[in-house]
Amino acid sequence: MLVTFPPEVLELSEKFTNSAHELYLIGGAVRDLLMGKTIYDWDFTTDATPEEILQILGPDAYYNNTFGTVGYPGPEGERPFEITTYRTEAGYSDARHPDELNWGKSLEEDLTRRDFTINAMALRLASLAQGKPTDQNIIDLFGGQLDLKAKLIRAVGDPAERFREDALRMMRAVRIASELGFTIEEATFNAIKMHSGATQKVSRERVREELFKIMASRYPYEGVLLLHGTGLMDEILPELSKTFGVEQKSPGRHHIYDVGTHCLMALKNCPSSDPLVRFATLIHDIGKPQTFAIKEGITTFYNHEVIGARIAKNIAARLRFPKKDADRLFKLVRWHQFTVTENQTDKAIRRFITKVGRDNVEDMLALRTGDRLGGGSSETSWRLEEFKKRLVEVQKQPFSVQDLKVNGKDVMDTLSLKPGPKVGEILNELFKKVEEKEVDNEREVLLAKLRSFN
Ligand code: ATP
Ligand code: MG
C-alpha cells in the first residue's frame, strides 16, 4: 500500500509529534484507505485530552460536539478533520457529558470498543516517512485486514455482548455490508438473529437513517435480504415480513413469485438511485396480504394499493420520515396501479399527473419498471411507451392558472384594471380556453386574447 496524504494531514501529525503526543488515523478512514477509496471523513484519535488538543492546534481548533471531539480545518473544500481522545466505550449514543474519566488510556482500549474488525484499525501517523504509509504503520489487533480481504463484517470481541451494549450496531452491520458488498460473518450473523429484538430500543430516527443508507447503497437488494435473514425486518418493517410466502400464482396471471420475493425483485430492478423511490418500490405491494382473496379459483388483491398506501403512511410516521418523504411515499404506493390503455383521454392522463404530482411522475415510472421486471415481465411495452409520450404531450398544456404564460399584472396592464377579484376571474377564463385548446399557451397569443376582452 502506497498512498500520499494531503500535506494538511502531515502538518497535523507534526504538531502532535512536536508536543510528544500520539496521533492515529482511525476507523472508517483506515478501512477506506486500505480499500483504495477516497477518504471523506478524516477521523483521528490521540492520547492528548481535548484541552491539550486545543492547545496543540491553536486558535483554528474548536469543540465539534458535546463529546469532546475537536474540529480542525482539513484540506481545501473537504470536511474538517475530527480529532478525538482515546475512549473506552461507545459513549456517543447515550452519554451526554463524557468527562476525563471516560477517556481511555490507550489506543488499544479505543480500538476494542469499536464495532467491526474492518472499522477497528488505526494508522500511526507520527512516524510516517515522507507521508507514505507502509504496512508497519497499521495497527490491526483484530484481523481487520484479513476480514477486508475476505469481505466479512465481523464484530470486535463477543458479538452478542457488543449488540447488547448498543443495538444500533446490528443495523450498522447490514448497512455496511450493503455499502461494501460484504457478507456478515456467521457468528456475528447468528448474534444479530438472537438479539434483533433489541432494535426496538434504538431511536426510530437512527433506524430510518440506517434503512435509508441501505436503500441508497450499492447493494440495496442484498441489504434487504440481510434484514430479512437476520430477523431485523420483523422488528423494523413487520408489514413487509408478512408479504413473504403470500402466493400470487393464478391461472392466466403472470406472477411467478410470492409477494415478498416480488417486492425484493422489484427493488433489485428499480432504475432509480433515489433511496425513497427504491423504498417505495420495495413496499409497493405491502397491502397485498390484507387484501388476499380467492374468487372462482383466481387469486385477487382488490384495492391493495389503497390499503398499501395506508400502511406506507403508518411506516413513514413510525420511522419519522420527513413530511415531504412521507407524502411522496404515500403517493407512489397509492397510485402504482395506474393503467396505460391507449384509449385514455387527455383529461384522464392529466388527472393521473395531478394525483401523483408532476415532480413524482418520473419516479412513478421507475417504480413501474421495477415492478414489471421484478414480476418477470419485459422492461416496457408499446402501451407503456405510448403512455410516456402522452405524459410529455399533456404536460405541454398548463395545469393551473399559475402555468399560464401571462399573469395578473398582464391582465391589469392590458385591461387597465385595478387589483381585485375581476383579475382572477379573467385569468380563470383564459385558463379554461387554453385547457379546451381554444387558444395556445403562448404569451403573444394570450395578450392578443386579453385585448379582445376590452
Ligand atoms: P461511514 O462514515 O462511511 O458511514 P464509518 O465506519 O466511518 O462509515 P461512522 O459512523 O462515521 O462510520 O463511525 C466512525 C467509526 O466509529 C467507525 O468506523 C467505527 O470504528 C466507530 N463506530 C461508529 N459507530 C459505532 C458504534 N455504534 N459502535 C462502535 N463503534 C462505532
Ligand atoms: Mg465515517
101 has pLDDT over 50: no
Which atom of ligand 1 is nearest to 114's Cα? 30
When pLDDT is cut at 50, 70 and 90, the band that residue 398 belongs to is confident
Q: Which residue from 42, 64, 65, 115 has its CB within 8 A of the most atoms of ligand 1, so it is best to mutate?
A: 115
Please state the rounded mean pLDDT for residues 120-125: 94
Please state the rounded mean pLDDT for residues 51-66: 90
339 has pLDDT over 50: yes
Which range among 173-187, 209-223, 251-265, 341-355 shows the weakest confidence by mean pLDDT?
251-265
Tell me the CA–centroid distance for residue 119 and ligand 1, in Å.
7
pTM: 0.89
99 has pLDDT over 60: no
Which atom of ligand 1 is nearest to 169's Cα? 27
Q: Whose CA is nearest to atom 9 of ligand 1?
A: 28
Q: Which residue from 35, 41, 119 has its CB within 8 A of the most atoms of ligand 1, so it is best to mutate?
A: 119
1 has pLDDT over 60: no
- What pLDDT score does 454 carry? 77
Contact 173, 159 (CB under 8 A): no
When pLDDT is cut at 50, 70 and 90, the band that residue 248 belongs to is confident
Work out the percent of the chain whose per-residue pLDDT is above 90. 77
Q: Which residue from 110, 114, 148, 164 has its CB within 8 A of the most atoms of ligand 1, so it is best to mutate?
A: 114
Residue 248, phi then psi, degrees to nearest 5 = -130, 15
- What pLDDT score does 436 carry? 84
CA dist., res. 141 & res. 53, Å (int): 26
When pLDDT is cut at 50, 70 and 90, the band that residue 100 belongs to is very low
The residues lining ligand 1, judged by C-beta closer than 6 Å to any ligand atom, are 27-28, 41, 43, 90, 114-115, 119-120, 166, 168-169, 172
135 has pLDDT over 70: no
Which has the closest alpha carbon to 28: 129, 135, 148, 134?
148
CA dist., res. 305 & res. 10, Å (int): 57
Please state the rounded mean pLDDT for residues 159-181: 97
Please state the rounded mean pLDDT for residues 227-237: 98
By the 10 Å C-beta count (0-12 exposed, 13-18 middle, 19+ buried), 440 is classed as middle
Work out the percent of the chain whose per-residue pLDDT is above 70. 93
- What pLDDT score does 3 carry? 66
Please state the rounded mean pLDDT for residues 217-237: 98
